[in-house]
Amino acid sequence: MITLQPGLIHHPGLLDRAAQAALLDAIRNIVRASPLFTPVMPKTGKPFTVRMTNCGPLGWVSDQAGYRYQPQHPVTGTPWPAIPASLLDLWQRVAAAAPPPEACLVNYYAANARMGLHQDRDEADLSAPVVSISLGATALFRYGGVSRTDPTRSIRLSSGDVVVIGGASRLAFHGIDRLFPGTSTLVPEDGRVNLTLRRVTLPG
């Protein structure tokens, strides 16, 4: 476990290969029930390079109307599938003090996808961390402070790594600059899957 900065904790290799493969299988089932969609940026309508789906009672979506959480898939209109038990167990391992997660955003990165610097701030409960799980190709993860202009640092996230974004870093800017091909055989074609577990509503 490495503290990158206050509240930002990196757990390299927390999931072994068998756990990664089992989790990817669970995600394949989720994608079958709840297909990947291409979100677009609010206002501009510019498409993201990542494709997304969700599991849990709530899912994060972005379209021209804005960013929000909603209980149904934006294209099929059906409820998101349940969060796999293995992910709820993982939350208990790294974020036990927080109430249970309500949303798991599934981000699929093809080899050339990236994600611009952003904050995760659409949750009413900002006391709970965001827990991020990386599967597949190694990614260059950039993180900074709570202001977009704060200096940033970068680390590589490998398959099986978990990052907890909480405490003083809960609103830290972060993003993925690029993937590194040939770094994992877990996801075909040098792809990557990132899962982020989020508590959305205030408990009670």
Q: Tokens 């293995």 — which residue?
A: 86
85-94 helix and 17-33 helix, angle to the nearest 10 degrees: 130
Name which of 77 and 143 has its Cβ closer to ligand SIN: 143
Strand-strand pairing, 162-165 and 8-11: antiparallel
In the complex, minimum distance from the CB of residue 171 to ligand SIN, in angstroms, rounded to a whole number = 12
Q: Binding partner of residue 194 among Fe ion, ligand SIN, none, CB under 5 to 8 Å per kind?
A: ligand SIN
In the complex, minimum distance from the CB of residue 45 to ligand SIN, in angstroms, rounded to a whole number = 20
**Ramachandran region of residue 133, left (φ > 0), alpha (ψ -120 to 50) or beta?**
beta
| CA angle 61–155–38, rounded 5-degree value | 20
Q: Which of residues 89-148 bind ligand SIN (CB under 6 A)?
A: 107, 115, 132, 134, 139, 141
Q: Which of 14, 27, 120, 169 binds Fe ion (CB under 5 A)?
A: 120
Name which of 21 and 114 has its Cβ closer to Fe ion: 114
Give the separation between CA 99 and CA 113, rounded to whole angstroms. 32
Q: Binding partner of residue 87 among ligand SIN, Fe ion, none, CB under 5 to 8 Å per kind?
A: none
